Amino acid sequence: MILALLLAAAPVTQVTVTPALEQRTLAIELQVDRSWKGDCLCLDMDGAEVAVRGLSRHPRRPSCFLRPEKGPIRYQLDLARLRSLRDDPDYAADLGRAWLFHDAATLLHPDGFETTLRVRFVLGEGVSVAAPWPREKDGAFLVSESQLDAGAYVALGALRTLEDVKLDGFSARLTVVEGPKAASDAQLREWIRVALASLGTFYGRSPSRGVAPIHVVLAGMKSAEPGVFGSVLRRAEPSVMLLFGDAAATGFERDWVATHELFHLGNPPTQGRYPWFVEGFTTYYTELLRARRGSLSAAKVWGTLASSVRDFCQPDGTSLRERSRNLATTHDWMRVYWAGACLALRVDVEIRHRSGGQRSLDDVLRELRKAEPLDEDELLAALDRAAGSDLASRHVDATKPIPVEALLTALGVGAVKDDEAVLRDDAPLARLRRSLTR
Q: Classify residue 92: in a domain, yes or no.
A: no
User: CA of 282: how far to CAs of 86, 199, 276, 334, 336, in Å?
Assistant: 24, 12, 10, 13, 12
Q: Which sign does the torsion angle of CA 323, 344, 230, 160 carry?
A: negative
219, 336: one domain: no
Confidence grade of residue 9 (pLDDT, cut at 50, 70, 90): low
- Classify residue 288: in a domain, yes or no: yes
Residue 95 resides in a domain? no
Domain span including residue 216: 161-262
Q: Any idea what the Cα angle at residue 130 is, between residues 55 and 211, rounded to 5°?
A: 115
Residues 226, 72: Cα–Cα separation, whole Å: 46
The verdict on 393 and 352 lying in the same domain is yes
pTM above 0.85, yes or no: yes
- pLDDT the model gives residue 183: 84
* DSSP track, 48-111: GGGGEESSPBPSS-TTEEEPPSSS-EEEEEEHHHHHHHHSSTTTEEE-SSEEEEEGGGT--EET
| Predicted local confidence at residue 272, as pLDDT | 87
CA–chain centroid gap for 396, Å, is: 23
Which of 262-272 are b and which e, b meaning 16 or more Cβ less than 10 Å from the residue's Cβ?
bbbbbbbebee
Clarify whether residues 284 and 241 are in a common domain.
Answer: no
Q: Who has greater pLDDT, 207 or 362? A: 362
The pLDDT-based confidence of 252 (bands split at 50, 70, 90) is: confident
Distance CA 347, CA 361 (A): 7
How far, CA to CA in Å, does 88 sit from each of 191, 282, 300, 375? 22, 21, 31, 29
Q: Report the alpha-carbon distance of residue 302 to residue 248 in Å, rounded.
A: 26
Which of 51 and 69 is assigned the larger pLDDT? 51
- What whole-number distance in Å separates Cα of residue 142 and Cα of residue 115? 10
Using CA atoms, how far apart are residues 224 and 64, in angstroms rounded to an integer? 41
Q: What would you measure as the largest C-alpha separation in the chain, in angstroms?
A: 79
- On whether both 243 and 122 belong to a single domain, the answer is no
Domain presence at residue 98: no
Closest listed residue to residue 126, CA positions, set 21, 243, 25: 21
pLDDT digits (tens, 9 = 90+) for 414-425: 999 999 999 999
In this predicted model, what pLDDT tens digit does every residue of 74-126 receive, in sequence order? Answer: 999 999 999 999 877 889 999 989 999 999 999 999 998 999 999 999 999 99
Q: What is the pLDDT of residue 206?
A: 57
Q: What is the average pLDDT score of the chain?
A: 91
Asked whether residue 131 falls in the same domain as residue 200, the answer is no
Q: How large a percentage of the chain has pLDDT more than 70?
A: 92
> Which residues are paired to 156 by β-bridges?
99, 129
Neighbours of 197 (CB within 10 A): 15
Whether 96 maps to a domain, the answer reads: no
Q: Is residue 37 part of a domain?
A: yes
Q: Quick one: 18 and 133 in the same domain?
A: yes
Note the pLDDT tens digit of each residue in 267-316.
Answer: 999 998 899 999 999 999 999 999 999 999 999 999 999 999 999 999 98
